[in-house]
């Protein structure tokens, strides 16, 4: 197979895997009403404990108005809350509510269980190679801007 054909098949596989996993994740009834980006925002806030909208926008390569829209939706669902900085009232942090923490934990449990089922199909060498390839992809995605 030629390199361009191999590249095309890899690209198709990546997008197909992404689509199927999104569909399966959305079938989890507790989180079916959340988008993948909303789940990623919740996960990020679980790790950082609190963040400003600008931080989230930079982390996910989206604009602040998109973060604001997602915040409003997540806030209406009582999954996020706003916290004004005590020293500087202009600074506003977003953080998870207890309901947000619980919902996220259920979603991550489902996602991790499904991924572990899939990873059982690979031997340790294949897993190590996959990890190396994915890590390399992620490092380059963050470093190199998109060339049009």
The CATH number of the domain holding residue 116 is: 1.10.10.10
pLDDT at residue number 51: 94
Q: What is the mean pLDDT of residues 121-145?
A: 89
pLDDT at residue number 32: 66
Taking only the tens place, the pLDDT of each residue in 99-116 is 999 988 888 888 888 889
Position 73 in a domain: yes
Position 99 in a domain: yes
pLDDT at residue number 93: 93
Position 79 in a domain: yes
Position 92 in a domain: yes
Position 11 in a domain: no
Range of the domain at 71: 34-143
Position 148 in a domain: no
Q: What is the 3-state secondary structure (H, E, C) of 8-72?
A: HHHHHHHHHHHHHHHHHHHCCCCCCCCCHHHHHHHHHHHHHCCECHHHHHHHHCCCHHHHHHHHH
Task: Give the side-chain half-sphere CA count within 13 A for 36.
Answer: 10
Q: Provide, rounded to the nearest whole percent, the portion of the chain with pLDDT above 70.
A: 92
The total number of structural domains that make up the chain = 1
Task: Considering only residues 146 and 19, tell me which one the structure prediction assigns the higher pLDDT.
Answer: 19
């Amino acid at each position: 197979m030629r390199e361009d054909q191999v590249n095309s098949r890899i690209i198709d596989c990546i997008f197909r895997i992404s689509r199927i996993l999104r569909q399966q994740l959305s079938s989890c009834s507790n989180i079916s009403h959340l988008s993948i980006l909303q789940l990623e925002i919740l996960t990020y806030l679980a790790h950082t404990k609190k963040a400003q909208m600008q931080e989230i926008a930079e982390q996910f390569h989206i604009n602040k108005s998109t973060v604001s829209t997602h915040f409003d939706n997540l806030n209406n669902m009582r999954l996020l809350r706003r916290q004004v900085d005590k020293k500087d009232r202009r600074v506003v942090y977003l953080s998870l509510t207890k309901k947000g923490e619980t919902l996220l934990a259920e979603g991550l449990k489902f996602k991790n269980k499904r991924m572990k089922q899939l990873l059982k199909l690979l031997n340790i060498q294949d897993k190590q190679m996959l990890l190396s390839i994915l890590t390399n992809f992620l490092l380059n995605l963050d470093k190199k801007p998109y060339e049009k």
